[in-house]
Structure 1
Amino acid sequence: MSTTMMDVPILELKTALASLFNSGMYSDLTIACGGKRYPVHRALLATRSSFFEGACRNSFIEAETGVIDLSEDDSEAVGHMVHYFYHMDYLSKPLSRRSSQRSSRANSPLSLRFPKRIVPKKLNLALIEDPLLATMAAASKAMPLTPPADQSTFQNLDLSSKMPGTPTGDQFTMDELEDEQSEPELDVQKAHLVTHTKVYAIAEKYGVAGLKVLARQKFIQDLDLHLNSPDFPEACQEAYESTFHTDRGLRDVIIQAFRANPALSLRKDVELTVRETPGLAFELFRMASGLPITS
């Protein structure tokens, strides 16, 4: 069986989940935040989040009312978390049947011989964890979410609507290419460092292991593109103020950014952030003194 055909069941599942999200069919729970209400499904959330698993038990008031109020949280981060439950991603294009067909054809022998474009890999992917594997590992409590303290996070930062029908096997034909216009891609020029930091924090708060790993992965990739962005100092402050000091997921990435790019300390906006963020200032002091970041 070819790799492409093995991907068909995964595409089918993702399309079905996206359809549930778009249509709200069979929803039996509501998440309220920032004036928005998200119809969701208990079984889907409870099996992927320790918080929602507890909230859905009969002994909790949320289980009786059918409404979980997250109004105290950042509304954008909550929206991305809900989106992740149904798309296994966030800040991405919605999955459609047409895009699923293109995904299958992208791996066909013909498309491999005539690729549309080649995107250079700039990051060490061996150091980036897979969100799905992390979710399964969290269930068995066997895999840490962040690398050990003595392991580098990365080597180099500058490494240059109704429910659609469920797709069937014959919709993923590989010997047929259509002349279609590409869907618009996300604006890769825009920095989302602060967004990734907030999503990481909310994933930690609500025990969504896969989303936490995914947010860290996106943060690393975005940092590689937007290290000089005005978003960087704000993201640093957000990371140090929204997570516990023992959570090294984003902190190790940020410290490595300063270690690999000493000129960051000369930026006025970065200097101001360091002055206002004691945890970051302390760790940068230890780094400059040649001491271990964590004792």
Structure 2
Amino acid sequence: MDSPNVELMSALASLFENGKYSDLTLVCGMKRYQVHRAVICPRSEFFEGAVRHPFRESETGVIDLTEDDPEAVEHMVNYFYHLDYLSKPLSRRSSRRSSRPMSPLSRRQSNRRRSTKLNLALIEDPLVAMMASATTAAGPLTPPAEQNDQFESLDTSTKLPDTPMAEQMEEDPFDVIEEEPEADVGKPHLVTHAKVYAIAEKYGIPGLKSLARKKFAQQMELHISSTELPEACQEAYETTVDSDRGLRDVVIQAFRAHPALSLRKDVEAVVRDTPGLAFELFRMASGLPITS
């Protein structure tokens, strides 16, 4: 049985997939998104104002976003219904599979796999081989047999009944609503995260803005050598105002932590073409505060 959180997320995903009960349409180029005012308006200052005031959008039920980046718009809409983007949403089938209690047989097999001892003799490493030979000569590093009995009472896993209640008490109820990792784990998507951050700022979606910044920072650290990094730095400075430090602080911190970035030719070219970034890097190199 689905938990209430999974039930809610599945319902939102279903609304997005089939457009049922839709009362608002977002248009971006050739794409049309059938959305719901009750879902997006309370979370966006722009969309709330567009449908509340007597504008053309509130009368026609159509909001044209053609001037925005199509990819960023798609991720924004996905966030409204999945609380994430660039990730595979958790399906109802997979959620049931992850929350279903383990059978007694499955539990015993899982415990057996966990209790399998590592055969050090099979590892081709001189240090490990020496350890293995020393262990064999001196005997296993385990307590004497008579001492095992005093610890037996602590292992209650074999005495507890394999009931659904026992399984449910062990798992985190919020684990089942987490979404799967990004499909293209090898791609940093730094430019994409910068664009999503910008569109979240434009349309007043604080939750999406915070999520995009988090993803941008994580991927910046993981892919500091990426060829996409210079363009992402430029995107961060050209799509945000000077007072918005969300992405800019991440970029400056990356240069502080990795001084070799300044020696890259592709980074140098972008710095030359991005006055805001160049000015802040100059202040950083001079030991001055980034913001006056």
Where 1:47 maps in the other structure, the secondary structure is helix
Shift of 1:230: 1.0
Contact between 1:56 and 1:63, CA under 8 Å: does it hold in 2? yes
Where 1:291 maps in the other structure, the secondary structure is coil
Shift of 1:34: 2.0
Shift of 1:19: 0.5
Aligned residue identity for 1:65: T
In 1, the alpha carbon distance for the partners of 2:218 and 2:86 equals 13
Where 1:39 maps in the other structure, the secondary structure is strand
In 2, the alpha carbon distance for the partners of 1:257 and 1:185 equals 22
Who is 2:246 aligned against?
Answer: 249
Who is 2:261 aligned against?
Answer: 264
In 1, the alpha carbon distance for the partners of 2:43 and 2:273 equals 36
Which protein, 1 or 2, shows the higher relative CO under an 8 Å CA cutoff with sep ≥ 6? Answer: 1
Shift of 1:9: 1.4
- Per-residue deviation, residues 125-176 of structure 1 (Å, max 9, x unmatched): xxxxxxxxxxxxxxxxxxxxxxxxxxxxxxxxxxxxxxxxxxxxx9xx859x
Who is 1:51 aligned against?
Answer: 46
In 2, the alpha carbon distance for the partners of 1:262 and 1:94 equals 38
In 1, the alpha carbon distance for the partners of 2:254 and 2:102 equals 35
- Is residue 72 of structure 2 the alignment partner of residue 77 of structure 1? yes
In 2, the alpha carbon distance for the partners of 1:264 and 1:79 equals 32
Change (3 A) 1:97 1:244: same
- Is residue 76 of structure 2 the alignment partner of residue 101 of structure 1? no
In 2, the alpha carbon distance for the partners of 1:229 and 1:280 equals 18
- Is residue 56 of structure 2 the alignment partner of residue 64 of structure 1? no
In 1, the alpha carbon distance for the partners of 2:99 and 2:183 equals 21
Aligned residue identity for 2:9: K
5+ residue gaps, structure 2, are 115-163, 170-179
5+ residue gaps, structure 1, are 116-169, 176-182
* Number of residue-to-residue matches in the alignment: 227
Contact between 1:18 and 1:95, CA under 8 Å: does it hold in 2? no
> TM-score by structure 1 length?
0.71
In 2, the alpha carbon distance for the partners of 1:42 and 1:107 equals 41
In 1, the alpha carbon distance for the partners of 2:203 and 2:224 equals 29
Q: Choose the corresponding residue for 1:218, options 194, 212, 215.
A: 215
Where 1:250 maps in the other structure, the secondary structure is helix
Shift of 1:107: 11
In 1, the alpha carbon distance for the partners of 2:90 and 2:42 equals 22
Shift of 1:251: 0.3
Higher helix fraction (1 or 2): 2
Contact between 2:16 and 2:35, CA under 8 Å: does it hold in 1? yes
Superposition CA RMSD, Å: 2.8
Shift of 1:184: 9.2
In 2, the alpha carbon distance for the partners of 1:70 and 1:33 equals 5
Task: Give the share of equivalent positions with the same residue, in percent.
Answer: 71
